[in-house]
Amino acid sequence: MPWPLPALLTWAAAWAVYLGLRGLDAPAVVALLCGAVIGALPACCSPWPLSGWRRVFMALGFPLSLAASGAATDVPAWAWLLPLGALVLLYPLKAWRDAPFFPTPPGALQGLKRLVPLPDSARVLEAGCGLGDGLRELHAEFPRARLEGVEWSWPLRIACQWRCGFARITRGDLWKTDWSPHQLVYVFQRPESMPRAVDKAARELAAGAWMASLEFEAVQLEPDACHDCPDGRQVWLYQQPFRPRRHATPTA
């Protein structure tokens, strides 16, 4: 479905629910909350590939347009904190510190198996799996692998499991999850998280296992391979035992 159709349909559905409930004399707060949930659901669980920002626009469109329209004069001031509360639930601060929500784009990992030959039923972990866009790409590339994901946000974990029935998703901290049973750990976090990821992978991954990082390079390591994504980004690939890069920046 071409953009911005998903957003327009989502906002229309949220407004329809809000106006319908107000027409039935439901309290303004209840109507606002139901409209906001209707707006946020497709943003979280959309079957269409959408970037992180587009999902944010979809989720915030209804509450912002309601506030701007002046149609919600009887909504008490505190009720405007509800969408903010929902955002904090969706993105706990801890997860935001490591990496906000930006999904792996569709097709980004196509061809990865040529560089990372994994045995059948290899265990693959996506550390910080969000809504599972990375897992879907990994599943397309390694259909026989046993895929797992760990995600800190409860709602994202539930939505991810719903979208990725082929994988086992747990809610937890990627830094406290044991990476050692996995032949490939895939991360898409932040540049600042990379020294910590390298340190953890170096301690826990077995010889021959891989760490793959979308976009952000581990500047202290020599990459074993590099996969070019269709959008121009790279997936940096490191195989144990890692090779330190000459004149590497020391890990924090």
Binding residues for ligand SAM, per CB under 6 A? 94-95, 98-99, 101-104, 126, 128-130, 133-134, 150-153, 156, 173-175, 188-189
Contacts of 25 (CB under 8 A, 6+ apart): none
3-state secondary structure of 227: strand
Smaller CB separation from ligand SAM, 30 or 226: 226
Closest-CA residue to 202 (of 220, 226, 229): 220
Smaller CB separation from ligand SAM, 22 or 136: 136
Smaller CB separation from ligand SAM, 42 or 103: 103
**Cα(225)–Cα(205) distance, integer angstroms:** 17
Task: Report which residue's Cβ sits closest to ligand SAM.
Answer: 128
- Least Å from the CB of residue 154 to ligand SAM: 10
Quote the DSSP letter at residue 104: P
- Least Å from the CB of residue 26 to ligand SAM: 33
**Cα(215)–Cα(191) distance, integer angstroms:** 9
Angle at 89 between CA 84 and CA 92, to 5 degrees: 105
- Least Å from the CB of residue 241 to ligand SAM: 25
- Least Å from the CB of residue 9 to ligand SAM: 23
CA atoms within 13 A on the CB side of 69: 12
Smaller CB separation from ligand SAM, 31 or 160: 160
